[in-house]
Structure formats: structure tokens, C-alpha cells
Amino acid sequence: MFLYVLRRLFLLIPMLLGLTVIVFAIARLLPGDPVGLAAGPNATPEIIASVAKEFGLDQPIPVQYWNYLTGLVQGDWGVSIFTRRPVFEDVMTYLPATLELVFAALLFAIVVGIPLGLLAAVYRNGPLDYITRTVALGGIAMPRFFLGLLLQLGFAVALDWLPLSGRFPLIESTPEPITGLYTIDALLVGDWYSFTIALQHLALPAFAMSLSPLATIMRMMRASTIEVLQQDFVMTERALGLSSRLILFKYVLKNAMSSTLTVIGLYVSWLLGGTVLVETVFDWPGLGLYATQAILTQDFMPVIGVTLVIATIYLLSMLVVDILYGVFNPKVRYA
């Protein structure tokens, strides 16, 4: 197992290297003039040339990539043309908000989706099964930004139950920074007031993001459970007189989780890459909003940095999923 994990971690290097080549080439070949936008509409050619030299954009693309790659190895992710700040500092500032949103959405999807999928399989073709099918269809078909707008109109504007947007009120003091995740930080220091406020702001965007993975996890869990229930070992356990609850939660659930784990791992990257619309709708200060602002100003260094972060988290999440295969399925072992 240790050698397997070590090999997978070593393979991250060429994959991320190839990703930097692709993203850097796309960013440099796209039409637009980021230097002109940064210099301003009234900038003289001398000022534009000075800005281009400042950020190294006056050099050939291969030289720009080499300079970026050598800087990346040393921890230098470049400088944002728009904010004039190191990209690494900006990414580390916005990353906790995105992780908190993604983890909350994924946790809700897992906690609700797996039990509903399991019960829908046990009571298939019953009322619960038809209800979950309807919810799954609606969850997959409805765009997240549209769902976010509906949630804002319903729970924030009409009912005034939850905040409309933002991560924390401007007039309130945020929890003491430990992890950067407000809900976790508030719990660690026992600040229940800040935890309640942070949870209220997190509820609507997290639910808007969770509906699609919840529907997919639920449907995948239902299909896997139905398949496992028809296996010979389940019939044997029933013949031995084991209780239905024991069979379902000790044997069926463990065997049905394998395919569902794959979906969960894939949804980590899907949620990370899909935060742009939800964060824009809810004005959530995360990587999605940061990347959107960078794209609008043709500031491609932050876009490359955000892409690398999302790719790294995705590859690590798939490694965790592969390790969990061996936990849920004893037939899967690694050398």
C-alpha cells in the first residue's frame, strides 16, 4: 500500500507539468491585450512597454513558460496583473472559502444521497423510490445558478430566513483564523455565535451546489445496491437466518459503495471547477469568483494558478478514493 501511494504521488509531477504546458499555451494564444488593460485606456506606448517588461510579457512564449516553470518550482506562482499581488498569496486567501463551500455541499450530498439510494433500492418501485427518482431528475436537470437565484428569492428575499449573499457580515468579527474555514474555526474555539452566522451564510450556496451530486450519488447507490442484493452471498446470508438490517448495513452497503466512491471522487473536481457560477451568484469570496475576475481582466496567471490547485486537489481526492476501495472491498489490494 505504501509503495502504491508513493507511486501515485510521484506521478502527480508529470501530470501537473503537462497541465501547465496546456494551460499556459492556451492563456498566451487567446486573443486579447492584458497589458493594455492593466496599463489603462490612456496609456502611452512607453507605459505599455514598461508594464509588459515588468511582467515579462515582452519575451517569447517559450522563455515566458520557462521563467514561469522555474519560478513555480521555487514557490513563485507569478504576479497578478490586476491585483499586483503574488498569485500564491491570492490563491491561499480565496482557497479556504471554496473548500468550505465544496466540502459542505459534498458532505450534504453524501449524508443524504447514500441512505436515500439504499432505501430506494430496498423499497424499489415504491413511493420512496418514485420520489427519489423525481428529485434526482430535477437535481441533474436544473442549472445551479438558476437554483441559487430561486433559493435567494425564496429563503432570503421572501421569507428572510437566511442571508442573501456573502460569507460573513461586514459588521461582525470573523472567527479566529485557524484553518480558514469559518465554521470549523468557530467550532475549534467554541464560538457558537460565529458558527451559527457562518452556517447561515453557507446554507444556500452549499445546497445549490449539492443538488446535482446528491442526485447522482443517490441514483448510483440505488443501482449498485440492487445489483448487490441479487448476488448469491446475500441469498446465502438470508438462508442462514441473518437479520435483514445486519445484511443490509454490514454486507450490502460495503459492497455497493465501490462505484459510488468513484462518483464522489469525480464530484470533488466537478464541484471545485463549478463554483464559478454559484460563487458569483452568492458573492462568495472563493476561487471561482477570483478566477472570474481574472478572466474578465485577461489576467491569466491567476487562472493558471487556480487550475493547478483544482487539478492537484482532484488527483489527491482520486488517490483517497483508490485507497478507500481497499477498505470497502477486501478483494481490492495494492502491492
Superfamily designation of domain 90-328: MetI-like (1.10.3720.10)
The answer to whether the beta carbons of residues 302 and 291 sit under 8 Å apart is: yes
Summarize the confidence of residues 271-296 as an average pLDDT. 83
C-alpha cell at 232: 448469491
Residue ranges covered by each domain of the chain: 2-73, 90-328
C-alpha cell at 299: 489576467
pTM of the full structure: 0.82
pLDDT tens digits, residue range 98-138? 999 999 999 999 999 888 888 888 888 888 888 888 877 77
pLDDT at res. 41: 64
Q: What is the mean pLDDT of residues 63-92?
A: 83
What one-character-per-residue DSSP string does 104-130 give?
HHHHHHHHHHHHHHHHHHHTTTSHHHH
Q: Answer yes or no: is pLDDT of 333 > 60.
A: no
Count CA atoms within 13 Å of residue 76 on its CB side: 10
Q: Which three cell numbers stand for residue 227?
A: 445489483
